[in-house]
């Protein structure tokens, strides 16, 4: 059952990781300019989580009835300490959404994705101190390669600057994306630490509740930003002036973007639940080259030598990490168990022959 859950979560994460940035960039390329609005959409799709939560509630109630359990079935499983922790993580997520949306407004998707790939290095560092993540020479090699790849991008940052963006906006977008990568690299181990420190059993329905509370807090954070920035007054006009499809396409794009981004966040914390924060960061990084290729195909973005070298270093880092994980797993499987290879030194003696 857990393997099946991991496969489903990986598919959801893949759709969110690849689709979210492309849909956001589609919004910016066709006249969209509301950064706080895009930040809001990153987590505004949280109502969709109510569907599996309701199914989980019905399943628990049916199970109680079948066992003649007179106890009332709780609608929500989350206790107060976990609820408060989820709100704090959600507010950090809202800030991270704004930083990422700001960067994507001024950077090509392929460049933004390569920068986000460096979050694996920061994630490994935070995971080491926060959740005592163990390292191997292969994982250290992956961290170094991804960091070098981001450095190469920084040195060749002017080559893929969009024609309609100023150098100042491009550099600021680059820095905002780097900060977003660092912050999200901190958030994933923080979620894993929250799971470990929780004083209740962490089940997948509870993970869904955590995700919903996090998204509500992040959405509220971005709503405040939208209100201060005056986005609500401008959105109807922006919809009418949208370059492709007008208002109908605009609002359809908004709804789809919210749902797809929700898949990213659900997939990310789902992998933390099933494996670890480092595994979640690695899977996100593995999917980023796919996003880069799709961005080049869909938006005809430039793919210059510096970006190619950074991509190769990223792929090298991914292969190094997975090879290390494969070797570690193989050693565990190949390790003989005493019960299978040797007899105990003393055998129990029965008092009677019969």
Give the tens place of pLDDT for each residue, 60-84.
888 877 777 666 778 888 999 999 9
Higher model confidence: residue 109 or residue 191?
A: 191
Backbone φ/ψ region at 233: left (φ over 0), alpha (ψ -120 to 50), beta: alpha
Does residue 51 have a pLDDT over 80?
Answer: yes
> Positive or negative, the Cα torsion across 275, 280, 286, 287?
positive
Is residue 209's pLDDT more than 60?
Answer: yes
Query: Do residues 124 and 133 make contact, with C-beta atoms less than 8 angstroms apart?
Result: yes
Average per-residue pLDDT for the chain: 84
As given in the structure block, the two tokens for residue 163 are 């024609």
What is d(CA 81, CA 96) in angstroms, rounded to the nearest whole number? 23
Can you tell me the distance from the alpha carbon of 29 to that of 33, in angstroms, rounded to the nearest whole number? 9
CB within 8 A of 57, min separation 6: which ones? 73, 75
113: nearest Cα among 181, 64, 191: 181
pTM of the model: 0.85
The whole-angstrom separation of Cα 281 and Cα 75 is 32
**Local confidence band at 231 (pLDDT 50, 70, 90 cut-offs):** very high
152 or 210: whose pLDDT is higher?
210
Mention every residue, 6+ apart, whose C-beta is less than 8 A from residue 37: 226, 231, 235
For the ranges 29-43, 59-73, 228-242, the lowest mean pLDDT is seen at 59-73
Across 34-44, average pLDDT: 96
Task: Scan for tokens 């507010």, then name that residue.
Answer: 91
User: Which pLDDT score, from 0 to 100, does residue 341 have?
Assistant: 41
Q: Quick check: 139 pLDDT over 80?
A: no
Dist. CA 332–CA 295, nearest whole Å = 40
């Amino acid at each position: 059952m857990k393997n099946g859950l991991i496969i489903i979560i990986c598919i959801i994460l893949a759709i969110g990781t690849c689709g979210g940035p492309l849909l956001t960039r589609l919004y910016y390329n066709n006249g969209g300019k509301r950064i706080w609005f895009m930040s809001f959409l990153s987590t505004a799709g949280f109502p969709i989580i109510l569907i599996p939560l309701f199914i989980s509630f019905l399943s628990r109630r049916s199970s109680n009835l079948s066992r003649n359990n007179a106890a009332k079935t709780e609608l929500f499983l989350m206790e107060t300490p976990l609820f408060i922790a989820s709100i704090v993580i959600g507010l950090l997520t809202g800030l991270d959404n704004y930083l990422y949306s700001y960067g994507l407004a001024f950077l090509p998707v392929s460049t933004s994705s390569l920068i986000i790939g460096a979050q694996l290095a920061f994630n490994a560092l935070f995971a080491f101190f926060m959740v005592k993540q163990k390292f191997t020479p292969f994982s250290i090699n992956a961290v170094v390669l991804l960091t070098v790849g981001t450095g190469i991008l920084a040195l060749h940052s002017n080559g893929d600057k969009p024609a309609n963006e100023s150098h100042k906006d491009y550099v600021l977008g680059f820095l905002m994306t780097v900060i977003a990568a660092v912050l999200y690299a901190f958030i994933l181990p923080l979620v894993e630490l929250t799971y470990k420190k929780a004083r209740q059993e962490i089940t997948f329905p509870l993970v869904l509740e955590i995700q919903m509370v996090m998204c509500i807090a992040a959405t509220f954070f971005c709503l405040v930003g939208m209100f201060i920035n005056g986005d609500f007054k401008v959105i109807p006009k922006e919809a009418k002036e949208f370059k492709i499809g007008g208002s109908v396409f605009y609002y359809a794009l908004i709804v789809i973007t919210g749902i797809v981004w929700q898949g990213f966040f659900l997939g990310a914390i789902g992998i933390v639940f099933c494996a670890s924060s480092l595994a979640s960061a690695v899977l996100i990084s593995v999917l980023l080259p796919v996003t880069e290729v799709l961005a080049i195909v869909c938006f005809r973005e430039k793919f210059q030598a510096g970006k190619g070298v950074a991509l190769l270093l990223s792929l090298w880092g991914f292969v190094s990490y997975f090879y290390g994980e494969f070797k570690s797993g193989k050693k565990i499987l190949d390790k003989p168990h005493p019960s299978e290879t040797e007899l105990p030194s003393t055998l129990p003696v029965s008092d009677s022959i019969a």
